[in-house]
Amino acid sequence: MAIEVFAPAKVNLCLHVTGQRDDGYHLLDSLVAFAPVGDSLKITDGKSLSLTVDGPEAAGVPVDESNLVMKAAALMGEGQGAAMTLTKNLPAASGIGGGSSDAAAALRGLLRHWDREDLADMPQSRFAEIADKALGLGADLPMCLMCRPARVRGIGERIDFTNLGPIPTVLVNPRIEVSTPKIFAALASRENAPLPDELPAFSDVNAFAEWLAQQRNDLQAPALKVEPAIGRVLDTFERADGCLLSRMSGSGATCFGVFPDEEAALAAEHHIRTAHPDWWVQAGSLGDQSERARPQVS
C-alpha cells in the first residue's frame, strides 16, 4: 500500500504581531490561506523510519531526525516503521510554511497508514489532541493540519476556520533563506493592533483586496531591513499589470501579489519569470486545499 499526501504552501495574507509571551514566542493575529502549489509526501511500508528527499528544491534539505517530517513521524508512532519520500517543490525557510506543511502532511499520512484514521473526519477532541502535539514541533504546524483558510491567533494554536478564496495570486521568492527568529528579533514594536473583530465575508477578490490592504504584515518592515531583496520583489509587483495588492508572507522572503483573475496572475507569472529567471515564481489561486490535502491511498 502506498499513500501520497499533498503539502500545500501556506500564505499569511496578513500577520499582526500583538504581543509577546514570557517564553519569547510572539502572539499573532493572522489570516492564512493555502496555495495549489506544494510539496508531496509518499509513504510506504518500512521496518524502520526512513526519509528520502527529491524534487527541484531538495538541495540542502536534511533527511535525518532534524527534518520536521521525521520529528512528526517519531511523535506519532513510537517504534513504528515507514519509508517516506518527500518531493520538495517549495523553497526552504521562505515564509510559506514548507517544513511545517511537510510535517503536517506526515501526520495526516501516517495517521492513515498506521491507524487508518483520517484527520479530516475525526472527532474534535482527537483533532485537538493531535494539534496540541503538533504545536510542540512548530507554531505553524497546527494551522497546516487541515489546509483550510483560517484566522490564527495565540502563537499559532488558536484556529478559527473561515471561508476564503479563490484569490488569484502569484508567489515570488527571490531565492533567499530567511531566519525567522532573526526577523522577530528585529521588530520595532511587539504590541500592535490585532485584526478587526469581525472579518468580512469573502465575496469577490477586488473587495477582499481592498479590505486586506488596510491590514499588515508586521514582520515585513524588519524583514526589508534584514533582506533588501524583498523590497525588489515588492517593487516588481507594484509595476505588474493589474496587481491589486502585494505583501510578504510569514517572516519572508516569499511575497504574494493578488490579481483580479487567474489570467492576470498567469500573465504576471510569465512576465516576472522572464525578467527574473533566478527567482522562484508560481501562480495559483489561494483558498481551501483541504480536499487535495487528504491522504490518497493506492
- The reply to whether 189 sits in an annotated binding site is no
- The reply to whether 242 sits in an annotated binding site is no
Q: Measured from the CB of residue 224, what is the shortest distance to ligand C5P in angstroms?
A: 18
Judge whether 218 counts as a catalytic residue.
no
* DSSP letter (8 states) at residue 244: -
Location of C-alpha cell 516576472: 272
Q: Which residues, 6 or more positions from 34, have their beta carbon under 8 angstroms from its beta carbon?
A: 8, 9, 10, 11, 147, 148, 149, 286, 287, 288, 289, 293
Q: Which of 29, 39, 140, 218 is catalytic?
A: 140
- The reply to whether 92 sits in an annotated binding site is yes
Cβ proximity to ligand C5P, 191 vs 198, nearer residue: 191
Length of the chain: 298
Cβ proximity to ligand C5P, 150 vs 283, nearer residue: 150
Q: Measured from the CB of residue 39, what is the shortest distance to ligand C5P in angstroms?
A: 17
- The reply to whether 46 sits in an annotated binding site is no
Cβ proximity to ligand C5P, 26 vs 108, nearer residue: 26
Between the alpha carbon of residue 83 and those of residues 52, 74, 146, 238, the distances in Å are 8, 13, 23, 45
Question: Per DSSP, what are the bridge partners of residue 15?
Answer: 30, 217
d(CA 261, CA 228): 29
d(CA 192, CA 27): 10
Cβ proximity to ligand C5P, 25 vs 114, nearer residue: 25
Q: Classify residue 285 as exposed, middle or buried by CB count within 10 Å of its CB (0-12, 13-18, 19+).
A: middle
> Measured in whole angstroms, how far is the alpha carbon of residue 205 from the centre of its chain?
20
Q: Which residues contact ligand C5P (rule: CB under 6 A)?
A: 25-26, 28, 138-140, 155-156, 180-181, 184
Q: Measured from the CB of residue 98, what is the shortest distance to ligand C5P in angstroms?
A: 12
Q: Which of 10, 42, 71, 88 is catalytic?
A: 10
Grid coordinates representing 39?
Answer: 510539496
- The reply to whether 94 sits in an annotated binding site is yes
Q: Measured from the CB of residue 81, what is the shortest distance to ligand C5P in angstroms?
A: 26
Q: Which residues, 6 or more positions from 209, have their beta carbon under 8 angstroms from its beta carbon?
A: 244, 245, 258
Cβ proximity to ligand C5P, 225 vs 270, nearer residue: 225
Q: Measured from the CB of residue 156, what is the shortest distance to ligand C5P in angstroms?
A: 6
Judge whether 133 counts as a catalytic residue.
no
Q: Is the Cβ–Cβ distance between 208 and 202 less than 8 Å?
A: yes
- The reply to whether 101 sits in an annotated binding site is yes
Q: Which residues are annotated as a binding site?
A: 91-101
**Residues acting as catalytic residues:** 10, 140
Q: Which residues are annotated as a binding site for ATP?
A: 91-101
